[in-house]
Amino acid sequence: MTCALLFRLFLLMALAVPSQGKCLGPTSRLRYSRFLDPSNVIFLRWDFDLETEIITFELQVRTTGWVGLGVTSRYTRAGSDLVVGGVLPDGNIYFSDQHLVDEDTLEEDGSQDAELQGLTEDAVYTTMRFSRPFRSCDPHDQDITSDTIRVLATYGQDDTLKLDQDRTFVKSIFLLQVVHPDDLDVPEDTIIHDLEITDFLIPEDDTTYACTFLPLPIVSRKHHIFKFEPKLLEHNETMVHHILVYACGNASVLPTGISDCYGADPAFSLCSQVIVGWAVGGTSYQFPDDVGVSLGTPLDPQWIRLEIHYSNFHNLPGVYDSSGIRLYYTARLRKYDMGVLQLGFFTFPIHFIPPGAESFLSYGLCKTEKFEEMNGAPVPDIQVYGYLLHTHLAGRALQAVQYRNGAQLRTICKDDSYDFNLQETRDLPYRAEIKPGDELLVECHYQTLDRDSLTFGGPSTINEMCLIFLFYYPRNNISSCMGYPDIIHVAQELGEEVSDSMEGMMAMNNVEWTPENIKKAEKACKEAQQMVIIKTIDELVENTTGWIPEIIPATRGPCLESSGGKVEPQDQTPAGFRAAPVALSGSSTATLRCLPLAALLFGQGVLSWLLATLRVGV
C-alpha cells in the first residue's frame, strides 16, 4: 500500500470519529422539557453541549401553521431573535433565522446561524428541531448564557409569517442546567419527612412571616438528606413567596406555636443557619451524589425553624394554608456533609434604593478571615457546588465575586437577567473553592423607574433584599456573612448633616432624587467603609470592617463565525471569534455538528485543504 493511500485511509478514519463531548444529532434524546404556554399548546425540548457551545431545541406546537422559537429581553420584543419554520401544503419546508425589527415585524438575518435538524407536520402538530451556537457573531442573535433566558415562542394557524400577540408567549428558563435529576442516584431506602405549618390562617395583611419550630427526624445512626421539594396547596401557590428551613443550635431554648418571625417576640427569629430554601418559581432540588445534609450525629441539629413568607396583596380573608418543605433522606451515606452560607447586603435597617433609578448597585462584603476563630475548629477549604439568588421585585441582576490576596479570582455565580418569578437552586458547572482569608462580594443591580418613593431593605415583597445562598461542603458552623455601608458617610456625601445611623437613614427622605444624586448615592455607598457581620449556628456574632473592591467584568467568550454574518467590533481580534465547523455536505450555511477528530488534529484550515485533496485524489 502506498503512502498516499495510507494517508487517505487515516484521514477518512479521522473524519469519522467525533470530538469528545455530547454530539446532539437529529435523533438524540433531549433531556430537558417544558410547556411554554398556560394552555399546554407549545412544548419545548432542549439539550446542549458545553464543550462545543451548541444548544439544540425541539419545538412541538399544536398547529398546522408556522412555528417560531427565540430569545427576547425583559423590556421589549424589538431586537428579539426568532427561528421560524413550517411545512407548506405541498410538503415543502421553509426555515429561517430572523429577528424582530419592532414588536411585530420580522426580518431575516443576514447570517443564518441556526441549523435545521428536522421539520415535520401531521394532522395535529408542527415539530421543528434545530441547533444554534451559544454565541454567534451575528449581532441580531441573542446569546445563550448561564443567566435566566427569556424564551420567546410563537406560532400561526397557517403559513403566513405574521405575529399574533394571542399566540406569542415568553417564559423565563434557566437553559444551561448542568445537572439533570435523571443523572442523580435515588437510594432505594429513601425516607420522606414533611416539615409544614398545618391549617395556618393567613392574615389579611400584605406581608406575613410565619415561623414555627419543628423537630427533624429521629434516627439511630447517621443519615443524609439528599433532596427537598416545596409542599404547596394549589390554591395558595401565588401567596407563598418563600420557605426557609433554618438549623437550630442544640443549646437553643425554643418557643412553641406559630408567630411572626420578626415581630414582638425575638425568640421566633432564633436559628439563622439555612439548611434548605425554596422561593417563587423554584421546584424540587436534589444534591449531587457526593453531598447531603447530615442527620443523627451529636453535631447535627435536632430542631429547625420553618419560615414561610406570605404575600396577601389582595387582603383575602379566611385563607388557610399547610405549606412546607418535604425532605428525602437515606441511610446510604454520601462522602461530604453540606452546608449553606448566606451572603449579601444586611437587609435591615441600612439598605435603601432611590426612586426613579434606571440602575442602582448595592454591595454586601464578606471577609472570611474570622471564620476559623468563630467556627471553634479549623475550617477546611469551602467547595461551592450550587447557589440560590434572591432579591425582590426591583432586582435585575446579581453576582458573587471572589477575591484572594487583594486580587479578583473569579465570579462564583451570577444572573444578569434575574427574574423574581424564577428563583431556583442552580448547580455550578464546577466546584468553586473558597480558602480562609478570601473576600466575597455580592453585587445587586436594581431598577426603580416605576417608583416615586424610596425603597428600603425589608421583609415585604415591595421592600428589597440582596442575598445569595451558597451550597457547599464540608459543613462548618458559619451561617451568614453579610455587609452594609457606613450610612453616615453616605448621608454626608449627599449634603446631609447627621450624627448617627438612624439619622443617616432618615436623611435619605430629604434628598431630591435627581439622576445626579442617584449616581452620587451609589458611588458613596460603594466607597464607604463596610461593616461586615458574621454569624454562627449558635447565634455567635462578630463584626469586622472592609472596603468594596473593584469588579473586573468578565470578557465574553468567542463568537461562532458564520457565512453572511456581521462581526461585532469587539470580535475583530484573533481571539474574538472562532471559525464555524466546516460543512461536510457542501452546504453554504454553517454546520454546527461536533467537529470530527481530523479537525482537532489538523485545525480547520488544514482540514479544508485535506478535504479538497480527497475530492481530487492524491
pLDDT digits (tens, 9 = 90+) for 124-143: 999 999 999 999 999 999 99
Catalytic residues, by residue number, are: 209, 390
Distances (CA, A) of 593 to 24, 428, 557: 8, 26, 19
Spatial separation of the C-alpha atoms in residues 139 and 552, rounded to whole Å: 24
Whether pLDDT at 1 is above 50: no
pLDDT band (50, 70, 90) for residue 562: low
Whether pLDDT at 358 is above 90: yes
Spatial separation of the C-alpha atoms in residues 515 and 521, rounded to whole Å: 10
**Three-class SS of 206-217:** CEEEEEEEEECC
DSSP 612: H
Average pLDDT on 572-589 reads: 40
Amino acid at position 508, single letter: M
pLDDT at 487: 96
Whether pLDDT at 9 is above 70: no
pTM: 0.86
Spatial separation of the C-alpha atoms in residues 119 and 253, rounded to whole Å: 64
Spatial separation of the C-alpha atoms in residues 575 and 368, rounded to whole Å: 36
Whether pLDDT at 530 is above 50: yes
Beta partners for 472?
339, 384
Contact 97, 81 (CB under 8 A): yes
DSSP 17: S
Instruction: Out of 72-76, 460-464, 539-543, 614-618, pick the least confident.
Output: 614-618
C-alpha cell at 411: 465570579
pLDDT, one tens digit per residue, over 217-261 is 999 999 999 999 999 987 777 899 999 999 998 888 899 999 999
Residue reference for cell 443557619: 273
Helices (H) and strands (E) in the chain, counts: 7, 39
pLDDT at 579: 52
Average pLDDT on 56-60 reads: 98
Contact 81, 98 (CB under 8 A): yes
Whether pLDDT at 419 is above 80: yes
pLDDT at 510: 95
**In 391-524, which ranges are E strands?**
395-404, 407-415, 426-434, 439-446, 455-456, 467-473, 478-485
With a CB cutoff of 8 Å and minimum separation 6, the contacts of 314 are none
Q: For the chain, which domains are there?
A: 32-173 (2.60.40.1210), 181-337 (2.60.120.310), 338-553 (2.60.120.230)
Whether pLDDT at 618 is above 80: no
Residue 121 CB: number of other CB atoms within 10 A? 23
Residue 390 CB: number of other CB atoms within 10 A? 21
